[in-house]
Amino acid sequence: MNLGKTRFETELQVRPDDLDFNQHVHASRYYDYVLAARYDQMARCYKMSLEQFFELGLAWFTREKYSV
């Protein structure tokens, strides 16, 4: 499995209450998006649960962030 050179994306619905008055995503909501993407990508892209991923000694991280 070549996990080091892969890149996956997940689209999430941004709700109006996720944004502040400047139309920026609240920091706490941003982390919720990251966690939701992690679970989505583990099932859809890696075909395994997050628990199985960790049992293999692998880790998951965010390299870039984007603003709405």
From the first residue on, what is the mean pLDDT of each consecutive set of 10 residues in the chain (68 residues)?
71 93 90 88 87 84 63
Q: Which pLDDT score is estimated for 3?
A: 55
- Kindly state whether residue 52 falls inside one of the protein's structural domains: yes
Give a yes or no: residue 10 inside a domain. no
CA 12, CA 53: separation in Å to the nearest integer? 22
Distance CA 13, CA 33 (A): 9
Q: Is residue 37 situated within a structural domain?
A: yes
Residue 56 lies in a domain: yes
Domain residues for the domain of 37 are: 24-62
The structural domain count of the chain equals: 1
In a domain, 33, yes or no: yes
Closest CA relative to residue 12, chosen from 51, 32, 4: 32
For residue 15, being part of any structural domain is answered with no
Model confidence, pTM: 0.63
| Residue 14 in domain | no
Tokens 């892969």: give the residue: 6
